[in-house]
Amino acid sequence: MPFPQIDPVAFALGPLVIRWYALAYLGGVVLGAAYATTLLAKASLWRNNTPPFAPAAIWDFAFWAVLGIVIGGRLGYVLFYNLPYYAQHPLEALMLWDGGMSFHGGLGGIMVAMIWFTRSQGGNPLSGLDLLGAIGTIGLFLGRIANFINAELYGAPTTLPWGVIFPTDPEQVPRHPSQLYEAALEGIVLFIVIRYATHVAYSLRRPGEVAGIFGIGYALSRIAVEFVRLPDAQLGYLHGGWLTMGMVLSLPILVAGIGLVVFARRSRRV
């Protein structure tokens, strides 16, 4: 398949350059907050008809969400993906415009922000994390599409008919469009699964269950795609030509997700 010639720069206003990647972050927060409003407004979805906070408060949380994603994502990248380099060039860790973000770090950052915010609103922190799980797939989908537009994080060579030749690939061979695999699994499929959980199985009535489902779904999807996705060049494979940092960081999320579902199922149901 030919790579669609989409400029990574969405538009420019004089010296101000707006990239699709930045718009993906912004869109994920805005669309996620909008969807969260509908979930929070439907009290019957939640345990004791009590959402973690009022629907309008989600827009106050959006500010803290951005901080959590950016700080956590950058810190995660520095610590997990390129620590030796940034240990020698510490000031470059602050240069966000040069790229380098970790989903796992961003997830940790936004979770901390949600727990703090929910407590400040007098709500159940586990229900707050459930809300994140219910809306998080939106940002994942948009982020992976932006990765594809940027022709980054692509996969290993393939002979499959949907292999893509990326313009940034020095070898210029067909490769797995691993960004689209993740967009489909972590974005579309996981959204459908969680939508069933929230509106059919009423999982939000069991605090922690939706967050656990998200953790399990994300971790399994990420680990599966990592088998065909090339690792970061500065790290390479950690073991045996197959184990990657993405797999290692996803395992704790998988374990935590299973633990949350078990805990939620064993708790008193209402």
Q: What pLDDT digit, counting tens, does each position of 169-188 carry?
A: 999 999 999 999 999 999 99
Three-class secondary structure of residue 14 per DSSP: coil
CA distance 114 to 108: 10
Query: Which tokens is 79 given?
Result: 């610590």
Distance from C-alpha of 247 to C-alpha of 238, rounded to nearest angstrom = 10
For residue 270, what pLDDT is reported? 46
Amino acid, res. 168 = T
Q: Taken in order 239, 92, 218, 113, is the CA torsion positive or negative?
A: positive
pLDDT, position 101: 84
Query: What is the predicted pLDDT for the residue at 97?
Result: 66
This prediction has a pTM of 0.92
φ/ψ of residue 152, rounded to 5: -125, 165
Residues that constitute the known binding site = 144
CA 232 to CA 255: how far, in whole Å? 24
- Going from the C-alpha of 19 to that of each of 6, 12, 101, 104, 127, the distances in angstroms are 11, 9, 15, 22, 34
Q: What is the pLDDT along the chain (270 residues), one digit of tens a residue?
A: 889 888 999 988 888 888 898 899 899 999 999 999 999 999 999 999 999 999 999 999 999 999 999 999 999 889 888 888 888 888 888 777 667 788 899 999 999 999 999 999 999 999 999 999 999 999 999 999 999 999 999 999 999 999 999 999 999 999 999 999 999 999 999 999 999 999 999 999 999 999 999 999 999 999 999 999 999 888 899 999 999 999 999 999 999 999 999 999 998 654
